Amino acid sequence: MMIHRENPTLVEALGEEIIYRDDRPLGQQLKSVIDLVFTIPRELLSKMDGCERYAEILSARTGIWESLLEKFQFKPNRLNVLNHGDFWINNMMFKYDSSGNVTEIKLIDYAATRYSSPATDIIYFLWSSANEDVREHRLEELCDIYLENLNSILEHLGCERRMSKTELTNELRFFSDWALSLICQFLPIVLTDPRDAINVEDFSLKDIEEGSFKQLEKMYKENKLFLAALPTVLRQ
């Protein structure tokens, strides 16, 4: 934020949105599968005992791509930070002491940085890497720790701006469609056996044009870990 005040062009260039845009190849590719990654879980949930209401939640979400485009547009009036953008455990390196306690963390892979709400990295981490206990019982604690550190750094840098707990809560709610998108899109990948993993970049232009994603459908429908976890994460 402070660097943005001094050199907004630099920060906005580094944090330019590269995913949720219609004019970028990655965005076009994601747009082509976004409906499918909601449709498959919805169909699976509708056939699970006691999960019909979760299927209805996904059914009620229409225009997801358009919603994400709007939410990830740069909004200068909110508190923005330079987010990592791909903030999950595989992009974190941990250093341990002799007792096995984490003493230091380094982040890698800054290919998707975005200058946006801090809620985006928090949501990404929660639904890609946090375990059930954290999401169920320690979410408030995690947000409090984040806010304490964020506001402490802002004060140290001489910035008068602060983020309140209410503001962060509202931002997390604002990005709820993205949380659902991550659950439906990212969770199957995280819980897939590496031997069965697929790379969406391998989809051909013909696949996209014809809407043929048999590999993707298989990853959802035959993924026992994902099928077991899906109702729980949607409840949370």
Domain count, the chain: 1
Can you give the pTM of this predicted structure? 0.86
pLDDT score for 198: 58
For residue 54, the enclosing domain spans 2-235
pLDDT score for 163: 95
pLDDT score for 11: 85
Kindly give the pairing relationship between strand 114-116 and strand 102-107. unpaired
The 3-class SS string of the chain reads CHHHHHCHHHHHHHCCCCCCCCCCHHHHHHHHHHHHHHHHHHHHHHCCCCCHHHHHHHHHCCCHHHHHHHHCCCCCCCCCEEECCCCCHHHEEEEECCCCCEEEEEECCCCCCEEECCHHHHHHHHHHCCCHHHHHHCHHHHHHHHHHHHHHHHHHCCCCCCCCHHHHHHHHHHCHHHHHHHHHHCHHHHCCCHHHCCCHHHCCHHHHHHCCCHHHHHHHHCCHHHHHHHHHHHHC
- Distance between CA 184 and CA 142 in Å, rounded? 23
Segment-wise mean pLDDT, segments of 10 residues, the chain, 236 residues: 78 89 85 85 90 89 91 91 94 95 96 94 93 91 95 92 95 93 85 64 52 69 85 83
